[in-house]
Amino acid sequence: MTTTPSAIAEVIERCTVAQVAYDLAAEAGDDVNSSLRSEEEDDAVNELVMMPCTSDAELLEKLRFLLARETKLWGSPFDSSAEFCSIAQAVATYLEAA
């Protein structure tokens, strides 16, 4: 029996595919294509951020993805000078235990 991915999982997949496409275009030095791919990735992430979750599991899936993405892009959110450091740390600690 196959399970259908949740709407959250589908948007996360689009975010991931868009990020890979952006990375490839940027590596190739294709500024026009990387700009377009960046917009696609931003649109998918914004959709994910605003998408309501139908369960706690979806919320955790969303938070886990967004925390990993932000950490990859901007470095550790746990730096004491980072905005929302305490919130990020609390979420990360919860997700590590989940």
Tell me the percentage of the chain whose pLDDT exceeds 70.
93
pLDDT digits (tens, 9 = 90+) for 26-48: 889 888 877 888 888 889 988 98
User: Could you tell me which residue, 40 or 4, shows the higher pLDDT?
Assistant: 40
Q: How do the residues of the chain divide into helix, strand and coil, expressed in percent and rounded to 5?
A: 75, 0, 25
Q: Is 35 helix (H, G, I), strand (E, B) or coil?
A: helix
Cα-to-chain-centroid distance, residue 25: 19
pLDDT digits (tens, 9 = 90+) for 56-79: 889 889 888 988 888 888 888 777
pLDDT band at 90 (very low <50, low <70, confident <90, very high): confident
CA atoms within 13 A on the CB side of 52: 1
Instruction: Check pLDDT > 90 for residue 89.
Output: no
In terms of pTM, does the model score above 0.85? no
